[in-house]
Amino acid sequence: MKIKIIALGKIKEKFLKSGIDEFLKRLTPYSPVSIVEIPPIEIKDISLKDKTLLAEGLKILANIKPTDYVITMEIKGKEFSSEEFAQKIEELTNSGTQELVFVIGSSYGIGKNVSDRANLKMSMSKMTFLHEFARLLLVEQIYRAFKIIKNETYHK
């Protein structure tokens, strides 16, 4: 199963880029993982937020195939333990899912059009994180999930 992460914006902080790159490298034996960065649209007038999120959503949806299993990262999404997340990835692998797509929106979230396309809405925590941190946390948890699935040391 291939994994794709679609994220709005670029990672600016060197330490975050370094961490993300490290986990992408560690994931190589388990699954090909690609990251698609989409430039966010600047919201100059908060009353245009929903319209802007829908426009960003069109760019996101252009990178998703009808057969992809899509997990959006959303504040009100389902929370998983690391073990439950690993179980979900294993289920998807065993069911023949060809590509698993994670979507990380901007600091304003994601458009309804993307949320409606999701097969699963997931929350990382009840806490709020910078969306740049979300990318690092996500790749680490994907790596941890594969270690759990393979019964390899790393997860405690």
Query: What residues does each domain of the chain span?
Result: 2-149
pLDDT digits (tens, 9 = 90+) for 138-152: 999 999 999 999 999
Please provide the average confidence, as pLDDT, over all residues in the chain: 95
pLDDT score of 92 more than 80 = yes
Show Cβ contacts of residue 36 under 8 Å, excluding neighbours closer than 6 positions. 4, 5, 6, 7, 63
Contact by Cβ (8 Å): 3, 100: yes
CATH topology of domain 2-149: Alpha/beta knot (3.40.1280)
Share of the chain above pLDDT 90, in %: 85
Alpha carbon distance 47, 68 (integer Å)? 32
pLDDT score of 55 more than 80 = yes
Helix (H, G, I), strand (E, B), or coil: what is residue 105? Answer: coil
Share of the chain above pLDDT 70, in %: 99
Contact by Cβ (8 Å): 71, 101: yes
- Distance between the two ends of the chain, CA-based, in angstroms? 25
pLDDT given at position 44 = 85
Give residue for tokens 């304003």. 108
pLDDT score of 12 more than 90 = yes
State phi, psi for 76 to the nearest 5 degrees.
-95, 15
pLDDT given at position 155 = 59
Q: What is the largest CA-CA distance in the chain?
A: 50
Alpha carbon distance 82, 25 (integer Å)? 20
- Per-residue pLDDT band for 21 (boundaries 50, 70, 90) equals very high
Contact by Cβ (8 Å): 21, 52: no
